[in-house]
Every structure is written in structure tokens, then in C-alpha cells.
Amino acid sequence: MTDIAMRQINSNGIQLRIAEAGTGPLVLLIHGWPESWYSWRHQLTALAAAGYHAVAPDMRGYGGSSAPSEPEAYRIDHLAKDVVGIIDHFAEPSATLIGHDWGSMVVWYTALLHPSRINGVMGMSVPYGGRAKQPPLDSMRAAMGDNFFYILYHNEAGGVAEAEYDSDPRGILSRLYASPDSPRAAAKIIDPKRSAGGWIDRLGEVTEQPDWLKVKDLDYFVNEFQRSGFRGGVNYYRNFNTNWEITQDLDPVLRMPCAFVSGSQDVVIQGADEPTLRAMMTPVMEDLREITLIADKGHWIQQEAPEATNVAITQFLKGL
């Protein structure tokens, strides 16, 4: 960690705190929800050692970066310009993008919106399959009905989601940052209806800290959210339909080299294997390269399996 430097930069009219290490071709590491630059702590040093300039920002709404309060400030076109602004800051013609969770959606769409600035893109956990046939939130509401679903919870009026998380940052983070096999206490809410309550009590308390997340690591994340609050990150979810609308005329095909990494047990991919994922992504990727599924690992892949993740990243980078 001593080789990682922290500083503030201007990007797209806001302040972003970045962590960086190394010199060489520029690689941007874009985190998801509810995360931080710190999610990439293992990758920053590894990529620096491999001969790259690795940069991990706190995305807008997180940590030490600007956090506008209005949801529309978190539209995908604004997020993409934040990323391109980092490339501009370093006066580079282009960069390689790597994103996890919400960061995957950011890097896929940054590559679509600004293709001349991106020489390669790797997503983690959230694959890209092109444009949905109807507004995403409409589909979710139709599928879930009166049942609880966290994305719909994030879209409820009055800021109920961030109010719950702000009241107990350690409670939500410690329950989310877990391995597929982490032992848990029984959930306090088992009624699937939204009316039964919020999210924290639906997630059983983790009774044994996962080996990839030390207490000091969890403390760092908790301290960041105690300082910044959760509203910025939750605001990303409030733009699903808006993002769908504003990208309707966008060519959905990625034409630069692409790759994908996930834990095989990540709930996001719902058990999909490599052929299934390749069939999903090939129609919208001209140059789909490696799909890496890391056995028995879950959603927080770059932290759960840092060495295997670093191998997948460096292999992709060396092939560009």
C-alpha cells in the first residue's frame, strides 16, 4: 500500500479522488456499489509491478470525490465523461478500462459513448448484452410485484434506502461483503413483501469474517461511507430508465477488444457458464476475448481472488 499515491484531480467539472501506482500505459479501475478505490488495492500494486499506470478513482458520490445530491447528476453520460476526464487529466490519447459491478456498466458505456478514447474494456460481474427491449425498471416492477428487490428499493421516493444504510453502515456492508459460503445468522425478515421492511434485516448477519476481508479493510470501507453517506451510490440506480432512454440511438456494438471476469458463484450471472456468457456477449462485441470464471468465488472477485483476477487482467492487457 505504500506504493499507492492519493490525490485530487479535476474531471468533468467535479473533483475526483484518485489512487494511482506505477508508470506505463494507462489503466483505469472503476469500482461499483457500495465500494471505493480501495476495492482495487490488490490490483493497483500488481499492475504497477507489471509495467502499467494504474488509476482507481472514487467515483462521483463516493469517498473523497464530489457527491452531487440530485439523481440526474449520476446519468451514464455524466459518469462516462468523468472517466474520460481522468484520461484527459493525464494527457493520454486513450486508456484501458476495467470495471466491477456498477463500474462494469460504466466502462461498457464509456467505451460505447467515447470509443476513440478506449483501447480495451474488461467488465467484472456484470456482463454486457446490449440494449434491453423495454425500460429496465419497468421489467423489474413487473417481475417483482409487491416483493422486495433492492434496485426497486433504491428507486423509492424519499430516500428510504440511503436513510437505512446511513443509519448502520457497518450493518449493510458487513452483510454484503461476504463469500458465497460465509456462515450467517438467520435473517430477521423472511417475508418477501416489501412492506415487511428494508434490506439490512433481510440479510443474515455474517458470523465469520471472510479471509479476504480483514477487519481493517471493513473498517476502511465503513469509515468512507460514514463520511460520504450512501446517497451518491444509490443515485446511480435511480437512472436505469433514464439511461435506457438517452442511449436509444447509440450503436450498441463494442468494437475494441473486450473481456469479462466473474466468480462462478456470483449471483449476478445466475449460474451462467462460459458458453452461455459468450453467446450473450458476442453479438454486441466485435472482439470478445477471454471470459474468465473463477471457481467457487462470489461477487467481490478482485478482493476474493486477487491473484487469479490479476492474472486475467494482465493477460488481457498484454494482448492489446
- For the annotated catalytic residues, the residue numbers are 101, 299
User: Per DSSP, which regions of the chain are E strands?
Assistant: 5-11, 14-21, 26-30, 53-57, 95-100, 118-124, 254-263, 285-294
What are the strands of the beta sheet with 14-21, ordered from one edge?
Answer: 5-11, 14-21, 53-57, 26-30, 95-100, 118-124, 254-263, 285-294
* Cβ(40)–Cβ(31) below 8 Å: yes
Q: Give the Cα separation of 240 and 196 in Å (integer).
A: 25
At a CB cut-off of 8 Å and minimum separation 6, what does 180 contact?
263, 265, 296, 297, 298
One-character DSSP codes across 264-275: TT-GGGTT--HH
Scan for cell 453479438, then name that residue: 283
Q: Give the Cα separation of 257 and 164 in Å (integer).
A: 40
Q: Give the Cα separation of 180 and 81 in Å (integer).
A: 35
304 is written with which cell numbers? 476474493
CA-based Rg of the chain, rounded to a whole angstrom?
Answer: 19
